Structure 1
Amino acid sequence: MSNWDLMMPGMGLTAIGLAGVVLSYAGIAHTFIDGLHALSGLVMFIGLIFLAVGILDGGISTSNKAKATTLVVLGIALSFGLYALATMNTSAFTVTLAGILMAIGFPAIIIAYLAMKHPTIVKPVGVIVGMAAATGIIMWFAFGFVSPDTSMIPQQVGVEEPTQEIEPTGSIFAIQILEGSSEEGNPDYEPGIAVVTQGYTIEWTNVDSLAHTVTSAVDYGDTFDSSIMNAGDVFTLDTTNLEIGEYEYLCIIHPWMVATLIIEESKEAIKVTIPEGAAIPEEEQIFYDPQIIDVTVGTTVTWKNVDNTMHTATSGNPDGGADGVFDSDIMSAGDKFEFIFTDAGSYDYYCILHPWMIGTVNVE
């Protein structure tokens, strides 16, 4: 017969541990930082041992209560599996959670079975300790059950927490989480040092196949935190309420991924006009006004087409073609195009529709 004195606490501990694991990997709670994800796994592990011992006490029970309990446990596992199959969810969250359930569940059942059926051959305490150690190693290396080492998190730059959240209103500054960034030593955030004008909206896009985060390092995510970003996810941050200064941030899943965000004061945009008649290749015709401009890093340049013909502002030159730094695409009459120059250098550009139209932006 089943032992309900063991099964009841087993079911409770299993449910609590499972809830903690789900909350951790769903990014609802900052359990990666606090280390509670490991505690949740341990609680679930112990709960399954109690549950399995209770069910197997005195042999495999055929009572209705034992059958119902077994069906409940199997129902939880099957429901999760069917949900993943039905939604074709291939995210790192689904795969990782399934792996955690197997890594915790199988050893727990084996430990309980050996402890009940072969107490004279293998001492229960030795089995539990050995299997728990093996499970811990599997979790450590396979599922990242380790909190970031505080020595790996830069301890500098005090910043004030934003006091108010508002809808993003500024222009977009794009940052990518690069493919393969989970491997230590590989490039991770691009650009690694982002100089952004206050008021702009930053968009981080995870182009890697694994989950990552964008988390302010000095205060463990109080200033900004993306939670878990699966492949293809985008995290946006409005910098309007961020103080001017430097912010270190990292991925709490892969804490060697560290980058810097520098918020600068708003700068007045430099305006370049595409004047009327620019499409006509005549002498003394002005194509971009002004044709050559000198700006500093972080400056926004705005091109406006006041001609009645379509034009572009495309980085590169007519001989070598576009170099991919910036491109306005087709600008109809009255259209505008903005670009933030974040790196020093000299940038030639031209109109791909009228290649005699050329200009230069010098960035210091």
Structure 2
Amino acid sequence: MASVSEWSGVEAKALRLASRRSVREFAADLGVAVRTVSNWERLGESTRPRPDTQAILDTALSRLDPTAALRFEAVLSGDGRKVASLARGGPRLWEYETWAEDIERAVLAAAGQNFTFASDLLERWRTRWPVGELDDRGLYLFARTATLAGDLLRDRGVLVGPLSASRSYADARSVFNQLGVPRRVAQLDLSLAVVREMSGDLTGAATAYGQLAGDARLSDRDQHRARLWVGTSLDKQGLHEAAVPLMRSAIRGFDELNEPEDWGTAHQKLALLYRGAGDLEEAARMIEVAQSASGGASPMQRVRLDTARGHILLSDSASLGEGLVLLNGAAATAATYGMSHQLRAIERIRGILERGGAAVQFV
């Protein structure tokens, strides 16, 4: 059994690491202040806990299970590789499994626009351990968690700032880069470009999309998505003619890959391009194609489709009433599911319509 003749800050820290406790948890176990434990670890050999605390540390050491006692001895042995490994207070095997399961549950919840539940599932893991305490498996799960959290924040319109989609994506990108997973890094570059577009930086977004459209790190599908989004960025700048071939190229690519959801989304964006260019007949035809591909659309997809179709109908005085009905329905669904970015876009369309202008492009 491990033993200590006299405790110093070094032995106290070794005991904390062996028991896999945070400084706060270790202090609570011993009944001392967090600052006291921090001082022990900072001063090392030059500090000695009080006699009554020495006795508490002896008791804590005697209660370690055999595996933890071996960890304690390994930490004190001075083997740097062992110390680095044993110092980690990261997840245990069963926690990795539960974490991965909760990520998949969050994906399903997000698909149904249950943003609150999905966020709760992700945050319980994202904030559980400092990144420095995770091994490669934990880092991979952390990066996936941060990516999904970014998707949720993006869909809710929380785009910039310390607790935003851009911050979550940047955190995930940093970890995937550290792990050497180039495909994931490129996918996050694509997500960050989407945030730039949604934030109004159309020129910067178009440049980023253009670079990623031919990026070999990305799958064919993601390269086609980047090409489509170059087109949407150009369209929002009024460069309709330049955008059309890019969008049609993406549509052909999605068709060849048998990606019906992306194919339908591309037709929706092409419909909005024709609306902006004043070709309402072609816009109506393209939105019908998009709706035919929607199948079991999620609430998010329904809001986007109904807003796009309403947007087109509002451009013709003969279909103004029908367009308002669709827009009002889309707004109600967006409000129900907390889709604040889509709701803001709908309100902008309404505002411009009330002022007698042409409706703005829907994001």
Give the TM-score normalised by structure 1: 0.25
Q: Which has the higher helix share?
A: 2
Q: Which has the higher strand share?
A: 1
User: Relative contact order: is structure 1 or structure 2 higher (C-alpha 8 Å, sep ≥ 6)?
Assistant: 1
